[in-house]
Amino acid sequence: MRKLWTVLALILWFVAPTLAHEEAENGHHHEPHHWEDTLVRRELVMQMVGMGILGGMIGAYMASRRVTR
Amino acid sequence: MLRSLCALVKLSFLEAVRRQILHVMVLLSLAVIALAGAVSFFELGVQVKIVKDTGIVMILLAGSLSVVFLMSGSLFHDIEQRTLYPVLARPIPRGLYLLARYLGALGAVYAGLSLIALTLIVLLWVHLHYVSTLAVIAIAFTYLEVALVGALALLLSTFFTPAMTTTITLFLYLLGSIKMGYLHHVTERNEGMMRWIITAVSAVLPNMEAFRFKDALVHDLSVPSGYMVLVAVYGIFYSTLCLAVSIWNFNRREV
């Protein structure tokens, strides 16, 4: 029962800002859709490059440890 | 190797297809979409928009919740009920087992989602007498988002118990869904250490909103094909990364 309350509390905590954001979007201010936003494209590419580099570095480190062992 | 993978995927699929959570989510979604299509309070244009909106939301909701609940418990129960040991006693790599678990459960969720998607397409056909390519694209990207959520749940299930995995996955899913709108504003309004922390969290979180083309479908807007390719590559890349880390963690774990 305690776990259920924790889950519900967490969901509510995160739904509140989402709803607030939705309400703000319903105003007159028009934000570009994500496919129109160049910042979103750049962020997606940057995230992939960053994770690729990090993954490569960790992979290389693990491989070198295996070789030296 | 391929034969073992196929056999394990089949077993995992059959097990997932029998789970009640999947049946409930699919039936509930079908009922909601059928209701949205049948109730005619509005003009035809508005009604079609409501059907499109409800359809895509229900596919996403049913898919995400089912995949989280199916993935979060599968590995834990296999270890608890000791069904994992006879499999691992054979010359089957642990990574292959985990991959089969993922593909089987995802296949079961996709089978359920296909029923919902088919209902949505039939309803659009009944109302408009044609189905736009964007409807198929929006559904396909929703499938990809579900695959990503599943990979995330599988990754977390190699670290935590089912309850924790479900909670953290839903938590990350919500954060990923508000990343572009909410988190970016929060980052701009904070300074110093807090800004760095939010930026770091933002850099790791998957961007769930990027997979959603519901607005384009509802308002008949065009989406550049280059952007769709980028999002598809992003989804596949992120899911593969999650699978790779989960295999790595499962390999080093004592079972």
Interchain contact, A14 vs B174, CB within 8 Å: yes
pLDDT at B47 over 60: yes
DSSP symbol at A1: -
Spatial CB neighbours of A3, under 8 Å, sequence gap ≥ 6 = B163, B167
Interchain contact, A34 vs B174, CB within 8 Å: no
Which range of A51-65, B84-98, B121-135, B149-163 scores highest in mean pLDDT? It is: B149-163
Q: What's the pLDDT tens digit per position in A12-66? A: 555 555 555 555 555 555 678 899 888 899 999 999 999 899 888 888 888 888 7
Nearest-Cα distance to chain B for A67, in Å, is 17
pLDDT at B140 over 80: yes
Which structure tokens are listed for A19?
Answer: 């709803």
Calculate Rg over the CA atoms of chain B.
Answer: 20
Nearest-Cα distance to chain A for B234, in Å, is 7
A21: which chain B residues are within 8 Å (Cβ-Cβ)? 178, 181-182
Q: What's the pLDDT tens digit per position in B87-106? A: 888 888 999 999 999 999 99
Q: How confident is the model at residue B133 (pLDDT cuts 50, 70, 90)?
A: very high
Interchain contact, A51 vs B237, CB within 8 Å: yes
Q: What is the mean pLDDT of chain B?
A: 91
| CA–CA gap between residue B35 and residue B39 (Å, rounded) | 6
The predicted model gives B216-242 an average pLDDT of 94
Interchain contact, A44 vs B167, CB within 8 Å: no
A53: which chain B residues are within 8 Å (Cβ-Cβ)? none
Burial class of residue B246 in the structure, from the number of CB atoms within 10 Å of its CB (0-12 exposed, 13-18 middle, 19+ buried): buried
Which structure tokens are listed for B34?
Answer: 């059928």
Phi, then psi, of B10 in degrees rounded to 5 = -60, -45
| CA–CA gap between residue A10 and residue A4 (Å, rounded) | 10
The predicted model gives B243-252 an average pLDDT of 92
Interchain contact, B171 vs A10, CB within 8 Å: yes
| CA–CA gap between residue B104 and residue B6 (Å, rounded) | 9
Partner-chain residue, chosen from B163, B166, B210, that has the shortest CB–CB distance to A44: B210
**Strand intervals (E) in B28-179:** none
B238: which chain A residues are within 8 Å (Cβ-Cβ)? 48, 51
DSSP secondary structure string, A5-63? HHHHHHHHHHHHHHHHHHHHHTSSPPPPPTTT-HHHHHHHHHHHHHHHHHHHHHHHHHH
Which residues in chain A (29-68) have CB-CB distances under 8 A to chain B? 31, 33-35, 37, 40-41, 43-45, 47-48, 50-52, 55
The predicted model gives B123-139 an average pLDDT of 91
The rounded percent of chain B whose pLDDT value lies above 90 is 66
By residue count, chain B amounts to 255
Q: What is the pLDDT of residue B152?
A: 96
| CA–CA gap between residue B76 and residue B160 (Å, rounded) | 9
Which of A4, A18, A23, A35 should we substitute to test contact with B (largest number of B Cβ atoms within 10 Å)?
A: A35
| CA–CA gap between residue B80 and residue B103 (Å, rounded) | 21
Q: What is the pLDDT of residue A14?
A: 54
B237: which chain A residues are within 8 Å (Cβ-Cβ)? 48, 51-52
Which structure tokens are listed for B120?
Answer: 């949505």
Interchain contact, B210 vs A3, CB within 8 Å: no
Cα separation of the two ends of chain B:
22
Give the amino acid at B126. V
Lowest average pLDDT, out of A16-25, B44-53, B141-150, goes to A16-25
Q: What is the pLDDT of residue A6?
A: 67
Q: What is the pLDDT of residue B123?
A: 92
Q: What is the pLDDT of residue B188?
A: 80
Distance of CA B238 to the CA centre of its chain: 12
Q: What is the pLDDT of residue B108?
A: 97
Q: What is the pLDDT of residue B120?
A: 94
| CA–CA gap between residue B145 and residue B176 (Å, rounded) | 11
Closest residue by Cα to residue B238 from B150, B113, B108: B150
Q: How confident is the model at residue B183 (pLDDT cuts 50, 70, 90)?
A: confident
B194 touches chain A (CB under 8 A): no
The predicted model gives B13-38 an average pLDDT of 92
Q: What is the pLDDT of residue A11?
A: 55
Calculate Rg over the CA atoms of chain A.
Answer: 21
